[in-house]
Amino acid sequence: MSLYFSIDTVNYKSLPDELLLLYLRTGDENAFREIYLRYWKKLFSVARQKIQALDAVEELVQDIFLRLWERRDSLQIDRLDAYLFTAVRYACINHLKSTLVREKYVDYAYAHYNDASYTTDEQLDLDELMGAVEQQLNDLPEKTRQIFRLNRLEYQSVKEISTHLKVPERTVEYHISQALKSLRVYLRDYLLTGLLTMLFMDC
């Protein structure tokens, strides 16, 4: 059975992310438009917290969606929200790296990562990184994974998560700590090159 339906018979706004992804992979422009409308403001808000220039933020977010469309049939995405929020964080890393003065960034990298063999021409492989992060997150307990995503990918504070999930703040802090410990070990090679600095910074 074909996944294509006319816009008159499909209410894209009511579709869950999983179905939108299925439509997207078939080249459905209406599904892509709904994904864009559903997540553009959220991604813009996340990027705006790290980057001051509005035009840079807009371009960064647009590039994420352009890449999603161009590689729709090859990207391995389990959770659309996790993929997009992770993509915007890594895109922020790339942008900030490119705008830093070369000498200052090299000094910073060597000061914090003594074993790093960092080169300023190094490019962040977003697909590889996101795949590695997602794979390790999937191995974590469900509650730990949920709290980590809310805190580090959606920028919710410990207090906000505590209120939302109705759990003590200490419980939230514990799960974040456990997730970070696991990810630091699993993603050690990326940390040594400074590529995942923002993921492990305090929010």
Give the pLDDT confidence of 36-72 residue by residue, as tens digits. 999 999 999 999 988 888 888 999 999 999 999 998 9
- Is CATH 1.10.10.10 what the domain over 125-203 is classified as, yes or no? yes
pLDDT of residue 145: 87
Residue 113 confidence (pLDDT) above 50: no
User: What are the structure tokens assigned to 72, written together?
Assistant: 């729709």
Q: Do domains 12-99 and 125-203 have the same CATH topology?
A: no
How is the chain split into domains, by residue range? 12-99, 125-203
Least confident window among 48-52, 118-122, 150-154 = 118-122
3-class SS at 77? Answer: coil
Query: Hey, what CATH topology would domain 12-99 get?
Result: Rna Polymerase Sigma Factor; Chain: A (1.10.1740)
Cβ-based burial of 109 (10 A; exposed 0-12, middle 13-18, buried ≥19): buried
